[in-house]
Amino acid sequence: MMAPADFYPSGPPAAPYGPGYPGVPPAGQGAFAPPIPRAEDPTRPQIVLGGRRLTDEEAEQVRRIYGRRGTVLNIVLLLCMAVLLLYVFLGFFNIDYWMENLLMLLVTVLVFGAGFGLFVWTGARNLRRVCRAIDGEGENRAIEIYSDRIVSVSASQRLVLPFSRVYKAVETPAFFLFLGAEGRYIAVRAADLTPFDAQKLRETILRRFPAAQRETRGWLLPALGSPLPIPVFSWGDPEVSLSAEKAFSRYRQKWAEIGRVLLLFYSFAMVMGVRLANSFWITPYYILDSFLFSLAGMAVFLLLYGIVAAAVQASAMGRLRHIGELPLHIGVCGGDFLVGNRWYLRRVPRAGMAVKKARGGLEFRLRKGKKSRWIATVSRSALPDPAAADAFLK
């Protein structure tokens, strides 16, 4: 019995098997007709793979790639301070106060070194926290490849990364890494792939990105002879759900985070103070004038920080609404909270979420040990009835 036409994974052959037919049919007809392109169905996965969580070594490699923007910022800060020091302490060196100039140079370098070290350390700590949140807590996961997106599903979260939002696709011997413009990523481990799966991923996903968005750090080395089983996870529908227009970050958090840049700001203000003290005077003492001018410069930096932070916050909220990150939906499902949006969904145990009534409505905070981190506030107008609030507070 002849197999049905759709038996072939890639569609029926272009021409019947066997000896050729006499004569050549006109172009575009018969066996020589070009294949008819099939429309891709975005609702059906093209590839489904089983996967596992990144190892510590692989996670460190991902952080080095993911954190490249932070490395660039660190280099820019170093160059800016070096240029300013050369400009002020060499271009405006005051021979009458050479001892005070050298002392202020030493203090400035020490303050900048301490501030830069704190900035780098807190940045690395935040990077590890963000990457742990993206990786999730579940060991096993399923990777689904659609015509327009890649999806990673585990017991604790579901992450959707549209190809249109991927700014870099990286291939290394250890994994494929897809970096999203919103700061999330999906990694597919070489240890979870067969050679066939690896080649299929290259043909299905990597070809969709222009050369400028692809980066190869070595050919991926698949390690499996047979594919992993595909895990199945149960995600129930929430019994009660709320929507928060105010989520992810808020203006007061910008000021709470200023501690990591305060010393950096003051080191730049000290350079400005030395520059002004070489041209103007307030008191008979050069060092005192330098510190007074540096305090004035610090006040200017803080004022600019407040203005820029407000503009960045307003722009970020508008952008998050435009791309579908807001509103943030929070639901109750059994003994867990479901938190997410159209691109991201996370399961949080009830003990891991602190919910309390606030002046503006309901405030949600993620617990981490004895500390908690604000994630969203649901306004009173968004509460359908008091019973909805009770479902989150009990």
Average pLDDT estimate for 133-144: 85
- Domain assignment present for residue 149? The answer is yes
Q: Does one domain contain both 213 and 345? A: no
Element (H, E) at 275: helix 259-277
- Domain assignment present for residue 26? The answer is no
Span 211-240, pLDDT tens digits: 889 999 989 999 888 989 988 888 777 888
Q: What one-letter code names the amino acid at 378? A: V
Q: Contact 326/341 with Cβ under 8 angstroms?
A: yes
| Domain final residue, candidates 207, 233, 259 | 233
* Residue 100: predicted pLDDT: 82
Whole-angstrom Cα Rg for the chain: 29
* Residue 18: predicted pLDDT: 39
Q: Does one domain contain both 255 and 326? A: yes
Domain count, the chain: 2
* Residue 1: predicted pLDDT: 37
* Residue 329: predicted pLDDT: 87
* Residue 3: predicted pLDDT: 37
pTM for the structure as a whole: 0.78
Q: Does one domain contain both 131 and 265? A: no
For residue 74, which of 36, 121, 39, 41 has the smallest C-alpha distance? 121
Work out whether strand 47-52 and strand 361-368 pair parallel, antiparallel, or are unpaired. Answer: unpaired
For residue 262, which of 310, 305, 311 has the smallest C-alpha distance? 305
Average pLDDT estimate for 374-390: 79
For residue 55, which of 223, 230, 234, 233 has the smallest C-alpha distance? 223
- Domain assignment present for residue 29? The answer is no
Confidence of residue 72 (pLDDT cuts 50, 70, 90): confident
| Domain final residue, candidates 170, 202, 233 | 233
**Residue 128 in this model has a pLDDT that exceeds 50:** yes
Q: Contact 148/50 with Cβ under 8 angstroms?
A: no
- The range of the structural domain enclosing residue 229 comes to 41-233
Span 13-31, pLDDT tens digits: 343 333 433 444 444 555 4
- Domain assignment present for residue 136? The answer is yes
Confidence of residue 39 (pLDDT cuts 50, 70, 90): low
* Residue 29: predicted pLDDT: 52
Q: Contact 149/166 with Cβ under 8 angstroms?
A: no
* Residue 2: predicted pLDDT: 37
| Domain final residue, candidates 233, 256, 278 | 233
- Domain assignment present for residue 3? The answer is no
* Residue 35: predicted pLDDT: 55
Q: Does one domain contain both 163 and 312? A: no
Q: Does one domain contain both 212 and 261? A: no
- Domain assignment present for residue 194? The answer is yes
* Residue 36: predicted pLDDT: 55
Q: Contact 230/363 with Cβ under 8 angstroms?
A: no
CA-CA-CA-CA dihedral for 186, 234, 387, 245, to nearest 10:
20
For the residues of 57-74, what is the DSSP string, one character each?
Answer: HHHHHHHHHHTHHHHHHH
With 0-12 / 13-18 / 19 or more C-beta atoms within 10 angstroms meaning exposed / middle / buried, residue 328 is buried
Span 272-327, pLDDT tens digits: 888 888 888 888 888 899 899 999 999 999 999 889 888 888 888 888 888 778 88
Span 248-272, pLDDT tens digits: 777 777 787 788 889 988 988 988 8
Average pLDDT estimate for 359-370: 82
